[in-house]
Structure 1
Amino acid sequence: MTRSAVVVAHTGRKEIRSMATSVVSKLTDAGFEVRMLAAEAADCEVTDEVTIVDGPHAAAGAEILLTFGGDGTFLRASELARPAAVPMIGVNFGHVGFLAEAEPDEFDETVASIVARRYSVEERTTVDVEVSSGGMLIAEQWALNEASVEKASRERILEAAVSVDERPLLRFGCDGVLCATPTGSTAYAFSAGGPIVWPNVDAFLVVPNAAHAVFSRPIIVAPHSVVDVELISPELPAVLSCDGRRSVALPPQARIRFRRGKQSVLIARAHEWNFGERLVTKFQLPVRGFRGM
């Protein structure tokens, strides 16, 4: 049976195009069917060597999906991998790279591990979002990192009420409210003052963004909890942003419900990986001089 891999690349950089072209060659030589989106295959000049795919079912039946780029490329590719339950592995060309975990200098080893099926797969929690207005469901979305409710007008603050498991908890004026997964704790939630959470922790983060309140600390809730954010003002609309990629306009007094996603994102790991060490490396944490180090 032919093995199949999907390659997604940020083709705006020459070094990424070169590496994506190389992986197409290596996987094809190993007997893989390699799939790519039409525009990216054309940019890499491999149209005749790959299967051109498009649409939400592009990854259906594939064994693995590889991304070449930063975390933004990884999030884009997750929209293909998640519905097909295909594990993802990212080669990082971005600034941080908490999602795209493999580094370019590990490229050959990464490909060899995929060919030899020498990789592990773990599930990452997602968040499902429902938007209702006037008691009617008007939109559904999901996110791997975070879903954020943000003010639509720079001149006005957002008035929001937060409930957990249908019990009122917080009410304040703010720039926004985020509901993040542990995977997304190092992204937008961290920038908004949220804690860093190890990705294997089963929980959700609720992070107020620039809240005008005495109590505006981030909170961590149980994975089965349901978080509601209600827009208070009858005049001010807002925006729902999911992973910074998909947006939904929120009418005044909309209710936004966050809960654990029904479908996880699968992440493949071909190398030894320690989250604490990655934090030290990526954030350049000052560990030298500590006792015993």
Structure 2
Amino acid sequence: MLDCLFIGSTTKDTLLMVEAPPASDQRIAASAMTHACGGVASVAASAFEKLGGQAGLITAVGEASDVTAFIEADLAGRSLPYLQVIRIPGADSPFSTIQVERDGKRCITHFGGCIRQLKLEMLDKKALDNAKMIHLGGLAEDFSVELAAYCRRHTKALVSVDGGNLSREATERILGNVDVFIPDDKTVSKTLGLAPEEACRYYAEKGVGIACVTMGDKGAVACSKGTVYHAAPVCVPVVDTTGAGDNFHGAFLYCLQQGWELGKTLRFCNAFSGLTCRGLGGRAAEPTLEETLKKMEE
């Protein structure tokens, strides 16, 4: 039995440190560069596993290529107790180029490739049956909606969805089959035009058990059973914010597994995701459980 099964994207990320992103027809120099394995579901699974949870991952790669080989090598080197890597014929593996500015903010150019071609019949249904929680992230919108509905009807798992970048239409279709829904404040502003706290209440009214909105350097807000919780951000030296939201999701599900109350959960997740910003790439600086608990109390 897996504590949590993560389903979604794994990418090869090329990260470049720059003073500022280039304008059109401008050439700039990068001061540092690294290749890292990222992806919405993959990074969240890494965070969950780092904290001590039993995480599984279902993801996809395309045809043989340098990008595919990089992703497969990274996944093979991880200690995940369950892994299904689905190869999609005729497709390319997901890839991102990320320009990271001096203050940690970044510009992302992402190519989704094969992840958009995942279908329900490709997934290992036994893995879904044997998961206490299932988290969806980085999938095509229609497939996210379909898969959430399947998990609600055919499994006993708590269903969690990364709502970042989901359209208003897809959000409305998926909410009725979701237990935990966490978008970022930019997505909320674009799709609902509401403040984060109001958005949490809106999602809760649509049937979500726990609704949360991440707000970057402004912290996080969540709502459950009519009660709203706020948590301030932590103070850390920021190198790169890539993957901070994905790490927040993994930490959040770990806290749910532990049965922590929501206020403590938000403080912990802010500390964990904040500390990941110390390194270049989403997984480069993932802290331990002990580091996070210490930071949370500062």
TM-score range, shorter chain: 0.3 to 0.5
- The TM-score with structure 2 as length reference comes to 0.32
Q: Return the structure number with greater helix share.
A: 2
Q: Return the structure number with greater strand share.
A: 1
- The TM-score with structure 1 as length reference comes to 0.33
